Structure 1
């Protein structure tokens, strides 16, 4: 890969490696660089990264977004829904919100990949059927040449924003790809008719009041439904529970505070956590590493440019 770009990147089907004009073999470049994470400029609703690891990168964790990735070099191994999975260069990884998984390099050569994290509501809206929930892809390692080209396009340059127009097109293509590989009847069989307006109002309230203690009584009043129906519909719409959604928004604030140079104790307070240890427990459960380790990898991420 040339610099931090995927321009010129090609898929070679017969030997199942991703190659670029600058790199004859990305597996070789994997072993030459240090571990780290590089972040693209922030954009509403999505987060893009490039990561490189040797050994076990992440302990078991879960997040409230779709995680869609493309393996660039090495072998990516992870546990997901009770099975050990492997992704080779050029293969796509699709992880559903709130599904526990870990991750690491399957060989001594190390691992290099790019990943985009997408809010579930963007997928629901892009599917054009907000009343029927999220598409679920039961097999997390996918081979699909059109899907792959869409990801290569959105991963092309991590130094620049995707831009609103291009992002809208990508989300539309992504929704089609997810539906194409999904098992919708399995995940769509929910007794409640989804009240999109009500659950969206609750989501926005949780987002705006992430630092506060929000009660079920407050959400019941906003949604005009009982807490159990709300919990079911919220998960159907956004892939996670109202409580976990609020915790994730707190962790979003923590990550931004750490990037801005705040110490971990201060970042915990910024996120609305009781203390640093409280924040650390949630952070590790969500991202598979401690906030201190995440902070170090972010600083080392400059080596990936």
Structure 2
């Protein structure tokens, strides 16, 4: 499936007829072609297609759209997955418009064999899936959280496949502690440099989704949370030794000081500066 951004085909030449807010970017996460956030009050999309899968959640209002000549809708509690190369349009279904978050995905595990199922049932009332998609958007907004984003994306991909190809019986996966220990050792060895989920899966010879489940089941924490906690732990010692926060951030493996501050406060409850002053 082509991995080029869908921007050229996703939005036609018709301008918005009312206030609008738009932000879009290319994250450094394999499988995510584009992230697109928008608030439209009157804008109506003409019929168009994408080269990638469109994963859509609406945070306020609702969108009405046509897919394969059938009218669909996306209230705020659903997740919509629109397949590539299938024409669709879109317009506000409420008087105050809609606010949406979209991921354009090029996922190797979602090939053309899933398109028919997505056309038949594009809107999914799945609260767990919706929470996962929302948390993935949050991770994608912050440089340096690529491992977290990859972990969340692989679980989303797995759940999407379950919706598009329901299983007769869901197998019960036992906790593979040995696999979890291998991943923990790998994370411990790469606290500073980090590791992508794909690299970890190749090293320990496991499917990425299985790897995330095994680690979380064995230790009660996701792999990305474990890695960030290890970095925060190192940062605490350096801060108490009098090192400046900006220097500490790069020394322990964070993208920048803001990246350190976000995770430090999440773990410790205060900012690095306040923690350092507590000496």
Of structures 1 and 2, the larger Rg is shown by: 2
Higher relative contact order, structure no. (Cα contacts within 8 Å, ≥ 6 residues apart): 1
TM-score if structure 2 supplies the norm length? Answer: 0.47
**TM-score scaled to structure 1, two decimals?**
0.43
